[in-house]
Structure 1
Amino acid sequence: MSEVSLQLVDASLDNTVVRIALAGALGMFLGLEREWSQKSAGIRTFSLISLLGAVFTLFAIETDIGEGLLVLGGVLVIIQGVLLAVQGLLSDDDTGLSLTTSVSMLVAYSVGVLVASGFIIEGVTVAVLSSLLLVLKRELHEFAWGLSREEMRSTTEFAILAFVIYPLLPAEIALEFGGLVLPLEPQVIWLMVVAVAGIGIANYAIVSTYGGRGIAVTGFFGGLASSTAVVGTMLDHVRQRPAAASYAVAAILLANAAMAARNLAIAVGFTMGGETAILLEAIVPLGAVILIAFAIAVITADWRESGPIELESPFSMKNALAFGAVFLVVLVFGSLAETWFGTLGFYATAVASGFVSSAGATTSAVVLYRGGQLGAAEATIAILLATVSSIVVKALLASTSTNHDFRKQVAVYSGLLLLGGGLASLLIIL
């Protein structure tokens, strides 16, 4: 869209009449699901409530008495919501549904206030998300009721890490070690820990839901959650069904591809919006690993087969703190190794840490790159070294199988991945 077009759009959104119309439309959008569900308040009521919030907000902006009207409007909406809830209780209707309608009315009023105040994007976002929550009522209830105690506990712990601990951390600190001052970004570091854990939770849900429907899902998404679990499951599956070796190998290859994709997402995603340039150099080597793994899996596997995969708990405080500890140790000693022994020292640290957690080594390289201790090429090579060392770990685990063909295929194809990553790294060096 051209700059002139953007200016015209901004000008139209600044128009008071347009804001009022948008508030009414969003209220109508919110009331659509309530009308469809045949509730006591529907499209007209919700639209009028949003218009009321918009009008009172404009009065508050332009006049001295407007603030009182704005508060009065909110109180009236709350009272109306309470009356609806009481009516639902007395008539033996579903009280939960009445409460949902009551709260939705207050949300509609707030949307009108946001839009009239100039928070256009925020108002639209609230309206869309609220409508989505109303529409997905059955799915959300089934999801919540289907959670095990361990999954519920994991979700709660993750919420504490993401929404309680993260805001309390300082943005920057300076760590003194051996006469050296190491600048650290605790919030960025913790955000990376939360991101890796969040990926594990999301893909735990995907694997648990679709795990038996195809090796592509179990291999790739299982690799995002736990590549070790993929290898362990395939080892057991090959032991029970020796003829399944070809697609078991493909599952491990796809787990490697998922691991490389996760590292690439960390490398690119966490360098966006900072003072340093986006780490685009990581796309070539990690992209090579991903493409080679996918190509071999597509060619060699019998995709008519499928196999279930079982993962452990999606998240635990212990796992998060362990990852954070490994990441911090790698970050500190990697920075010291880079200071004392140059870039080769950090490379050695990346290789060693990749055997434990390629994500930890990747995040360490990204943080050092953001801090200026590593250049783009050096950070990319460190990430690639951690990635290929993780591939070696999977090959070593697969070598414990009693199936000769399975062991051989995993070793050969893992070697091809390492070769492809090595050739891609030469492009970065040269």
Structure 2
Amino acid sequence: MIGGVDPFVYLETNVAKLVLATALGMFLGLEREWSQKSAGIRTFALISLAAAVFSLVGEPGLLVVGGVLVVASAVLLAVRSFVEADVDGLSLTTSASMLVAYGVGVLVAAGLFIESVTVAVLSSLLLVLKRELHAFAWGLSRQEVRSAVEFTILAFVVFPLLPAETVDPWGAVQPRLVWSLVVAVSAIGFVNYVLVKRYQGRGYAVTGFFGGLVNSTAVVAEMAKRAKGRADLGDIAVGSILLANAAMAFRNAAVVAVFVPEAALVVGVPLGAITVAGVGVAVWRSDWRTTMEAELTSPFSLGNALTFGALFLLVLLASAVAEESFGASGFIVTSFLAGLVSSGTSTTTAVSLLGTGQIGVETAVAGVIAGTAASVLIKTVFAASIARELVRPVFLWNLLLIAVGVLAGVPLLLL
């Protein structure tokens, strides 16, 4: 709303819809024109315009006929490109894009302006990022592709079958919410796993931060092993560990923001402070020109998801019992202990219990911060067990991160 007026009201006229449909069609055809395809900016604009016209006329039969003609034209275009270019297969991208352009015109005519723009932008991105997407696909191993497919199928098949109501005596376990949190955390890990594989050779900073989003403990272990007995890598190892902790805090804040928007500010401020402090200190302390590669395994597999889910469920039940028996303090202590194993489980537990009404926002925030702080501290011990020379710097800087988070979060809890 701008000044009490919905800006989309100006698009409700038929003329405005026709103009928008044409503009989005031109936008879709821009990349095809630039790539010197047989169907370019004018063809795509006319397809979207025709779809909008047929929709506004209000004759379903005309709209169907138009769609059939677009499909037929797309097929003929694909066959023509195959015959003339003498390639090993049909080039269907332009043909599919023509059908998308037709759909965009229909969406605009139906008044679905946000949806039509979204489809146009996403389609253009898919066209522009051709090389990057192909490189990404071919860069995955067969096992990674198989794991991702298995996990995706399981996620989307299982989710609708799970009950939306709580199923335990404490009213804490809501299967759909639990599974959606498991999927979300695993998906975050997989995306950043791909980024690490793609860009980790560019330096410790990339591996430290994005690797921390995948598995911060694995990053700490890798850095500590590399720094053992090498004074020249001490500062880089400390900086990378701080980046991994910063990434972990950022991930936890993102999970809360997505699933519990009302707690986004209260959680985001302390965890955001930890993220900024970790990145700031790491940048200040270290020279990032040295490159490295970390040994990370894909988090987007059925086994990893079920392991995380089982741990999450165990912590969830323990936290519910502790909260019922000892109140908020029991939950916070349980969150701290869970954070020693995985801050992801303590965060998702807080989100789940808040979603089922077992705890309040303040208690959930305290639990997330406690779990994150515990995870930061335990990494000091973990790093020290591999390279003792890292004990002092890692411990002191990690204490600073925790202090920054607490100082940033306490005022919000007291409001």
Asked whether the two chains share a fold, i.e. TM above 0.5, the reply is yes
Counterparts of 2:75 and 2:284, CA distance in 1: 63
Say which of 377, 384, 387 aligns to 1:399.
Answer: 384
Offset at 1:47? 1.7
Offset at 1:398? 1.0
Local SS of the residue matching 1:308? coil
Counterparts of 1:243 and 1:337, CA distance in 2: 46
1:74 matched residue in structure 2: 67
2:400 matched residue in structure 1: 416
Say which of 377, 391, 404 aligns to 2:362.
Answer: 377
2:166 matched residue in structure 1: 174
Q: Does the Cα contact within 8 Å between 2:172 and 2:320 map onto a contact in 1? A: no
Q: Aligned residues, how many?
A: 414
Aligned residue runs from structure 1 range 345-384, under 5 A: 345-384=330-369
Q: Does the Cα contact within 8 Å between 2:266 and 2:413 map onto a contact in 1? A: no
Local SS of the residue matching 1:356? coil
Q: What is the one-letter code of the residue matched to 1:74?
A: G
Aligned residue runs from structure 1 range 210-289, under 5 A: 210-239=199-228, 241-272=230-261, 277-289=262-274
Local SS of the residue matching 1:409? helix
Q: Does the Cα contact within 8 Å between 1:395 and 1:411 map onto a contact in 2? A: yes
Counterparts of 2:107 and 2:389, CA distance in 1: 64
Local SS of the residue matching 2:228? helix
TM superposition score normalised by structure 1: 0.89
Percent identity, aligned pairs only, is 52
Counterparts of 1:37 and 1:304, CA distance in 2: 37
1:311 matched residue in structure 2: 296
2:193 matched residue in structure 1: 204
Offset at 1:240? 6.1
1:38 matched residue in structure 2: 36
Counterparts of 2:287 and 2:293, CA distance in 1: 15
Q: What is the one-letter code of the residue matched to 2:228?
A: R
For the aligned residue pairs, the C-alpha RMSD in angstroms reads 2.3
Offset at 1:395? 1.0
Offset at 1:370? 2.6
Q: What is the one-letter code of the residue matched to 2:95?
A: S
Offset at 1:366? 1.6
Q: Does the Cα contact within 8 Å between 2:221 and 2:386 map onto a contact in 1? A: no
For each residue in 1:40-63, what CA deviation from the matched residue of structure 2 results, as whole angstroms up to 9, or x when unmatched?
A: 222222222212211111122xxx
Counterparts of 1:139 and 1:22, CA distance in 2: 30
Offset at 1:345? 1.8
Offset at 1:245? 0.9
Q: What is the one-letter code of the residue matched to 2:145?
A: M
Counterparts of 2:155 and 2:45, CA distance in 1: 35
**Structure 1: 5+ residue stretches without partners:** 61-65
2:11 matched residue in structure 1: 13
Q: Does the Cα contact within 8 Å between 1:353 and 1:360 map onto a contact in 2? A: yes
1:63 matched residue in structure 2: none
Local SS of the residue matching 1:399? helix
Q: Does the Cα contact within 8 Å between 1:88 and 1:95 map onto a contact in 2? A: no
**2:82 is equivalent to residue 89 of structure 1:** yes
